[in-house]
């Protein structure tokens, strides 16, 4: 039975997609069966893994809206040893269409329920909003990871985000847990960044991952080549950081796994 984890933050550009792609590849590298679900109509997770989202015949939209079986929308990622349910632009309308459907908060839950036993981990990359798509992600999840950019406005919006998680817990998914906040784009030469990390540790009700993701050009370049950092530059600082994150998450499950690189 897969553990389902959503990466969420309604703030744009904080590293949700970068973290989703790289976490998925390191979990797969540790020998886990992993599925990445691209819940963002921007399709960044899909294109970042080399999928041409303009020419997709089937995507998450067909599974969530038209009731297509998830097996028919899953794509294997060559060289990555993991699967993805890609998204495309048509998902942008889904947020509105879902409003009129039955079980509107549980559309993704229903999709993933059918394939849950095929994987160890299902990682969901959410769009930068707290709309119905993100709510579907939360309802389908066991846990959430909140990527937080190590910059000045980082804490803004976090209380609204935690309130949304609470509402989902009270009304839709009582078992939903916050796994932790993940500091991203950290520049250790910057005093402000160090201060933000301290503040998040002080104020965040719950866990902040020990693994901190540095700001590095290599992490930003990799998606342009359709690659995760493991396949783009396995010995870079960014690669080490995401490997540590995967290790930390596996350790939380009581597992001590070996990676190939
Ligand atoms: N650690 C990092 N170092 C340098 N650049 C990064 C890092 N993480 C992400 N980026 C870059 O910052 C931009 C935003 O990152 P990303 O797309 O992962 O954020 P996001 O939260 O998914 O954004 P959105 O809210 O639009 O979905 C991208 O151009 C990405 O390549
Ligand atoms: Mg994104």
Q: Which ligand 1 atom sits closest to the C-alpha of 185? A: 1
In-domain check, residue 259: no
- If you measure from the C-alpha of residue 236 to the centroid of ligand 2, how many angstroms do you get, rounded to a whole number? 22
In-domain check, residue 261: no
**DSSP code for 259:** P
In-domain check, residue 260: no
Tell me the whole-structure pTM to 2 decimals.
0.96
In-domain check, residue 167: yes
- If you measure from the C-alpha of residue 70 to the centroid of ligand 2, how many angstroms do you get, rounded to a whole number? 22
CA 110 from chain centre, in angstroms, equals 19
In-domain check, residue 24: yes
Q: Which ligand is nearest the CA of 15, by number?
A: 1
Ligand 1: residue of 12, 13, 125 to mutate (most ligand atoms within 8 A of CB) is: 13
Helices 16-29 and 237-252: crossing angle, nearest 10°? Answer: 70
Distance in angstroms (rounded) separating the CA atoms of residues 230 and 80: 9
Please, which residues have CB less than 5 A from ligand 2, an ion?
16-17, 44
What is the pLDDT tens value at each position of the chain, 261 positions in all? 999 999 999 999 999 999 999 999 999 999 999 999 999 999 999 999 999 988 888 999 999 999 999 999 999 987 778 999 999 888 988 878 888 888 999 999 999 999 999 999 999 999 999 999 999 999 999 999 999 999 888 888 898 999 999 999 999 999 999 999 999 999 989 999 999 999 999 888 778 999 999 999 999 999 999 999 999 999 999 999 999 999 999 998 887 777 766
- If you measure from the C-alpha of residue 182 to the centroid of ligand 1, how many angstroms do you get, rounded to a whole number? 13
**Domain range enclosing 57:** 3-252
In-domain check, residue 216: yes
Q: Which ligand is nearest the CA of 224, by number?
A: 1
Neighbours of 55 (CB within 10 A): 7
Cβ neighbors of 123 (< 8 A, separation 6 or more) are 5, 6, 7, 20, 23, 24, 27, 34, 35, 36, 37
In-domain check, residue 54: yes
What's 138's domain CATH number? 3.40.50.300
Number of domains, the chain = 1
């Amino acid at each position: 039975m897969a553990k389902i984890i959503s990466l969420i933050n309604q703030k744009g550009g904080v590293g949700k997609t970068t973290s989703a792609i790289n976490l998925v590849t390191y979990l797969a590298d540790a020998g886990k069966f992993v599925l990445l679900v691209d819940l963002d109509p921007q399709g960044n997770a899909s294109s970042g893994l080399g999928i041409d989202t303009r020419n997709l015949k089937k995507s998450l939209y067909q599974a969530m809206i038209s009731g297509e079986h998830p097996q028919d929308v899953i794509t294997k990622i060559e060289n990555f040893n993991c699967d993805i349910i890609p998204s495309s632009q048509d998902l942008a309308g889904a947020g509105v269409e879902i409003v009129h459907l039955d079980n509107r908060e549980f559309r993704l839950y229903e999709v993933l329920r059918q394939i849950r036993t095929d994987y160890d981990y299902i990682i969901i990359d959410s769009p930068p909003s707290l709309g119905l798509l993100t709510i579907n992600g939360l309802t389908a999840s066991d846990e959430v990871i909140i990527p937080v950019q190590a910059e000045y406005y980082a804490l803004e919006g976090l209380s609204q985000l935690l309130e949304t998680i609470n509402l989902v817990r009270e009304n839709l998914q009582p078992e939903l847990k916050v796994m932790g906040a993940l500091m991203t784009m950290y520049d250790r030469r910057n005093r402000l960044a160090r201060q933000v990390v301290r503040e998040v540790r002080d104020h965040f009700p719950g866990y902040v991952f020990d693994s901190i993701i540095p700001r590095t050009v290599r992490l930003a370049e990799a998606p342009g080549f359709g690659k995760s950092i493991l396949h783009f530059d396995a010995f870079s600082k960014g690669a080490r950081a995401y490997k540590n994150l995967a290790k930390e998450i596996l350790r939380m499950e009581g597992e001590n796994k070996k990676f190939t690189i």
